[in-house]
Amino acid sequence: MKVAEETSMTKEFELFDKMSEHEQVVFCNDPSTGLRAIIAIHNTTLGPALGGCRMQPYNSMDEALEDVLRLSKGMTYKCAAADVDFGGGKAVIIGDPKTDKSPELFRAFGQFVNSLGGRFYTGTDMGTSMDDFIHAMKETNFINGLPEAYGGGGDSSIPTAAGVLYGIKATNYMLFGNDELGGHKYAIQGLGKVGFKVASGLLEAGATIYVTDINQENLQAIEGLATTTLGKVIVIAKEDIYSQDADIFVPCAFGGIINDNTIAQFKVKAIVGAANNQLLHDRHGKMLQEKGILYAPDYIVNSGGLIQVADELYGINHERVLAKTKHIYDAILEVYKEAISSGRTTEESANQMCEKRIADRSKRNSFYTAPAKPKWSIRNLT
Ligand SMILES: NC(=O)C1=CN([C@@H]2O[C@H](COP(=O)(O)OP(=O)(O)OC[C@H]3O[C@@H](n4cnc5c(N)ncnc54)[C@H](O)[C@@H]3O)[C@@H](O)[C@H]2O)C=CC1
Ligand SMILES: O=C(O)CCC(=O)C(=O)O
């Protein structure tokens, strides 16, 4: 009995150890709709936590928890880098997006989001769509990234893809001394909402792209599009995408793709893509540096979508979103230059800039200002 008690105590502390950098983790359970979700709030120094909600058939509790903890931490850095007044959070729903969705499930999720009273704003991510959040918004105001007809900014993958293209331009400038997109070769993993738009932009600029996706329709669509552009597309088996003789690898599918196995295969000069949490571990940033591969920190490159959903705070303005998204070009160049002069990896340089921004803001938040209209009120909650 004593042994069992000790074991369970150890396990409980393991959970706290895992979330030691996080402010709050909420487990949401609603048997009547089948909802099992986890909301993780990493850091709210810059403002309420903001981050999309991913739906995936995770294999275990640990896998789902690890994903939401990593993704929410990434959002803290992404918000700091993009200079938006939000902190880092994320949610995961455990389930198959093809078979387990229902309006009731998303309404139940909306109720849990509402119970946090504005500490967490959420919207779409992998496996969820704007349609799902039209159900969730019936239960809570703390939803962003809605369709324009519902007062949101619409498809956030448009500015995300624009930001990735700015990141690629900045990288080309570092590699070749001019930032033209055409005339180079790119290996693109994933032609979904973001990857397809990035691929289209590169084809239109006349580039050669090696592409892979597990969805045949996406591959056929990009081949069809290529015939109307100056560019060229070559379809590659999914396991061969890492070893292509391209200039830049553009990951637009899932995280953890920069690891021991893939680094051994890379022949590219740089990696610039939309996927969140691309480095499996921090040490993989160092390995890329040692191999002479320039790495554009993912949370800067893919912050266009965040810039758009955060802009809803002021009433969405697409020109303002585009202007801010353009800044990704300068932000990436700044990181490259800082990393070269300090000897740090690009990820370390970017992290340090973000941590300084958060530390500076926490000092400014330390004095009292008179109560006024809540600063964070996307849909006039007062
Ligand atoms: N949508 C957005 O605005 C943002 C997306 N991201 C990240 O960018 C990545 C892509 O996002 P979306 O385009 O929205 O997702 P998506 O779900 O629309 O697209 C992912 C694509 O990857 C493909 N894929 C899955 N497994 C693959 C494999 N093994 N090999 C090749 N392709 C595979 C899928 O078939 C799909 O076409 C994700 O990691 C997401 O977290 C980050 C910031 C914002
Ligand atoms: O879509 C959102 O609600 C915020 C953006 C986000 O989750 C992301 O950039 O990964």
Q: Decide whether any atom of ligand 2 lies within 6 Å of the 160 Cβ.
A: no
Q: Which atom of ligand 2 is nearest to the CA of 303?
A: 9
Centroid of ligand 1 to alpha carbon of 68 (angstroms): 16
ipTM reported for the complex, 2 dp: 0.98
Q: Which ligand is located closest to the Cα atom of residue 191?
A: 1
Query: Could you tell me which of 266, 221, 277, 222 has the C-alpha nearest to residue 241?
Result: 266
Is any atom of ligand 2 closer than 6 Å to the C-beta of 152?
Answer: no
- What's the burial of 99, exposed, middle or buried (CB within 10 Å: 0-12/13-18/19+)? exposed
Is 101 noted as a catalytic residue in this protein?
A: no
Torsion of CA 89, 94, 95, 96, to 10 degrees: 50
pLDDT in tens, the chain (382 residues): 444 455 555 566 888 888 889 999 999 999 999 999 999 999 999 999 999 999 999 999 999 999 999 999 999 999 999 999 999 999 999 999 999 999 999 999 999 999 999 999 999 998 999 999 999 999 999 999 999 999 899 999 999 999 999 999 999 999 999 999 999 999 999 999 999 999 999 999 999 999 999 999 999 999 999 999 999 999 999 999 999 999 999 999 999 999 999 999 999 999 999 999 999 999 999 999 999 999 999 999 999 999 999 999 888 999 999 999 999 999 999 999 999 999 999 999 999 999 999 999 888 776 666 766 667 777 765 4
Structure token digits, residue 157: 């993958």
